[in-house]
Structure 1
């Protein structure tokens, strides 16, 4: 079985405040970007194995491995060989690891005919990471809470070209949150996203940009360059470091 976990971008990202559990409440639009993807192969075999090729990922148990063991705990499934061909950069704000985990769950569900529905799969996905459930539905969504509250939205940007600039700067989530001052925006993202894309500039914002751009001015330069090249809207995705722009095709 071969699967293609793909990236997402954040269109706007508001940090609303720190919760009692230590997590930050957010509001963001997640949008699938299918042009940037990993390749995931899953086959049954006698002993479990996980092999990664391509971009280096941190040592320790990978989310694909965790996804397998999570399902094996509840279901009598055979061992598998998982081979991940990694192309989506790590720490780039594109959700690559979360996509890999979600697609592993979906692949195992199909391979072993577990008949888990999307609601059940999303409950497993949430145990692997707050971004993971998004990739089960794989459609544009307003994301709230710590990332676990998904509200599908009608947003079709397929008439535009999406350019991704990945400068290779790794920004940890902890580093990003350390520099941000949470606040409730004057205009909620759920309303701003209804505006025509030509009006997004200056209105739909990523709260991480201010502090991250001070620390990594190259990222601000990339965003400015995208606008010079004719971008209708440009922003940093997630906590960085990918900068994207929407262009007329």
Structure 2
């Protein structure tokens, strides 16, 4: 079985308080985009007890033993002893530490694949609860449609948000931002504009009302991020922002963008209308 975990962007991201469990309450809008990893699983013979993981594509931090796809298998195996061992191959195309949710998508899609292939008959809500044990962004990829997220990000409210008329430009400036470090830099404050209200307004008003709380502190540490955003606006973006805790910047364009050359190490993807 083969599937293609997609990335997401955050349109607006407010950290609104620290929780007693050590996590933070937030509000954001998750929006899926067609930049994909590739994930394949093959059932191993019954005498094999443990899954095997191979990887290709972009490099992944950490050891294979700590990979989120293996963690997803182990999570389900703890409740479904009949779950077979599988051979997993993960091809990475979504940059890591980029605010695009690539690792979270891989974990969530692994849960969905195992549920289908092994006929576990888990409901969407049950899959969301398993996904939350893998990471705060993982539940979104179970639903994988535009959502307003609150709580840790696991309280998901599907919303009508159709941006298919726009070109999306995604630029990752080859910077890995440590999420824990980014949280430590934040000064928590009340958002100036309620995100769920602002997102319903025309896109050309978003620049004044929709912000990512991480962007200022991350861009101060990594000036290339602010430079990319400025370049997108200078070349006609209707709205541009950092996603997640960084370092990827995305821009929305009403017409086909004409962009300057970026350094070779940057990941640059242009998504035409009706694909985003």
Q: What is the alpha-carbon distance in structure 1 between the residues aligned to residue 222 and residue 85 of structure 2?
A: 44
Secondary structure of 2:209's partner?
Answer: coil
- Identify the residue that residue 25 of structure 1 maps to in structure 2: 25
Deviations 1:224-246 (A, max 9, x none): 00001110000000000000000
Matched, 1:87 2:93: yes
Deviations 1:75-95 (A, max 9, x none): 112110000001101100000
Over the aligned positions, Cα root-mean-square deviation in angstroms equals 0.9
Q: What is the alpha-carbon distance in structure 1 between the residues aligned to residue 204 and residue 97 of structure 2?
A: 29
Q: What is the alpha-carbon distance in structure 2 between the residues aligned to residue 176 and residue 162 of structure 1?
A: 25
Give the gaps of 5 or more residues in structure 2.
256-276
Deviations 1:183-221 (A, max 9, x none): 111321011101100100121000111111111111101
Secondary structure of 1:231's partner?
Answer: coil
Identify the match of residue 127 of structure 1 among 119, 123, 133. 133
Matched, 1:174 2:180: yes
Secondary structure of 2:241's partner?
Answer: strand
Matched, 1:197 2:233: no
Structure 1 residues 15-164: aligned runs within 5 Å: 15-34=15-34, 36-46=35-45, 47=48, 48-60=51-63, 61-75=66-80, 76-164=82-170
Q: What is the alpha-carbon distance in structure 2 between the residues aligned to residue 176 and residue 13 of structure 1?
A: 13
Give the gaps of 5 or more residues in structure 1.
none
Q: CA deviation at 1:21?
A: 2.0
TM-score (norm 2): 0.88
The 8 Å contact of residues 193 and 210 in structure 2, kept in 1 or not, is answered as: no
TM-score (norm 1): 0.97
Secondary structure of 1:74's partner?
Answer: coil
Moved over 2 A (4+): none
**Count of residue correspondences:** 248
Q: What is the alpha-carbon distance in structure 2 between the residues aligned to residue 79 and residue 174 of structure 1?
A: 33
Q: What is the alpha-carbon distance in structure 2 between the residues aligned to residue 4 and residue 130 of structure 1?
A: 20
- Identify the residue that residue 215 of structure 1 maps to in structure 2: 221
Q: What is the alpha-carbon distance in structure 1 between the residues aligned to residue 181 and residue 204 of structure 2?
A: 31
